[in-house]
Amino acid sequence: MRTTIKLTAAVAAAAALTLGLSACSAPSDTSAGSEKKGKDADPSAELVVAASPTPHGDILNFVRDNLAAKAGLKLKVRDFNDYVLPNTATQNGEVDANFFQHKPYLDDFNKKNKTDIVPVVNVEIEPLGLYSKKDKKVSDLGSGSTIAVPNDATNEGRALKLLADNGVIKLKDGVGAEAKLSDVEDKKGVKFTELEAAQIPSRLADVDAAVINGNFAIGAKLNPAKDSLVLEKAEGNPYANFLAVKKGNESDPRIQKLAKLLNSDEVKKFIQQKFSGAVIPAFGPAKS
């Protein structure tokens, strides 16, 4: 999971145009623009899901190509290299659902944007990792080292906790994954560079180390299980990524079909084989 990134002018303009056209056009009866929502949605209509390309898009594409037809589901996957547009598109009905985020990020997004997006079903966890092209072990980091961390509140706190758990820094007593830079009690000479999460992999060579979200690490051809200096533990991890919808659409029969497929044995096997521990299945109902 995941944070906002700076889009190029062309991409931003295209996104704005798409959203604008969606808002102004007449509702479609075959996709996310359908007037019928929730349990009354047409089960034969195409279901449009926004996703980060990896691993979320990979998982959805597997479902689309191998499982959806047999389940009577018409699934379309729309890739977004961004952590804001999938939620705004879900909120305004441009897409029916999204799959890219964890609960702490969604809670923060809903609060700041007055949206009402809710999780449906947990699918997987992408452990956050610390990477370096200069140092071979975490104990090499110290006075004079520069570490890049995500600049959004949710993932920055998560990154600082990872560093604290591994002795790179010390946080104030009682502070955990909600930590801010101001909560760092002892930096041990480490300097921080705050960057948008999606930009960090391309800047890895510019710093001594960087904390990178699992999906962006995979997209940069880094294997969290093999290439990280340290990695978040999966057990008890609150950052499961889930299928999410605008509140009221949880009972959409197409959403229910997709939720079941995303928690299937076939998807579990696909995740395990394709990502080799870099992405971990985390099935089950998501907490609202």
Residue ranges covered by each domain of the chain: 9-126+238-285, 129-231
- Taking domain 129-231, whether its CATH number is 3.40.190.10 is answered by yes
DSSP secondary structure, 250-269, as one string: TT-HHHHHHHHHHTSHHHHH
User: How high is the mean pLDDT of the chain?
Assistant: 88
How is the chain split among helix, strand and coil, in percent rounded to 5? 40, 20, 40
pLDDT at 101: 95
Q: What proportion of the chain, given as a percentage, has pLDDT over 90? A: 73
- What is the tens place of the pLDDT at every residue in 226-279? 899 999 887 777 889 999 999 999 999 999 999 999 999 999 999 999 988 889
For residue 147, is pLDDT > 90? yes
Nearest residue to 5 (alpha-carbon basis) of 86, 61, 60: 86
Whole-number Å distance between alpha carbons of 200 and 206 = 10
pLDDT at 11: 37
Same fold, 9-126+238-285 and 129-231: yes
For residue 14, is pLDDT > 70? no
The pTM for the full model equals: 0.72
pLDDT at 218: 86
Q: Which residue has the higher pLDDT, 1 or 167?
A: 167
Question: From residue 72, how far is each of 20, 35, 62, 67 by CA, in Å?
Answer: 31, 21, 15, 9
The helix/strand/coil state of 281 is: strand
- What is the tens place of the pLDDT at every residue in 62-114? 999 999 999 999 999 999 988 899 999 999 999 999 999 999 899 999 999 99
Class of domain 9-126+238-285: alpha beta
Give CB contacts under 8 A, 24+ apart, made by 131-137: 131/204, 131/209, 131/210, 131/211, 131/212, 131/217, 131/222, 131/227, 131/228, 131/229, 132/204, 132/208, 132/209, 132/210, 132/229, 133/204, 133/205, 134/208, 134/209, 135/208, 135/209, 135/229, 136/229, 137/229
Instruction: Determine how many CB atoms are found less than 10 A away from the CB of residue 158.
Output: 27
The helix/strand/coil state of 204 is: helix
Token look-up 């961390």 returns: 149
Instruction: Determine how many CB atoms are found less than 10 A away from the CB of residue 22.
Output: 17
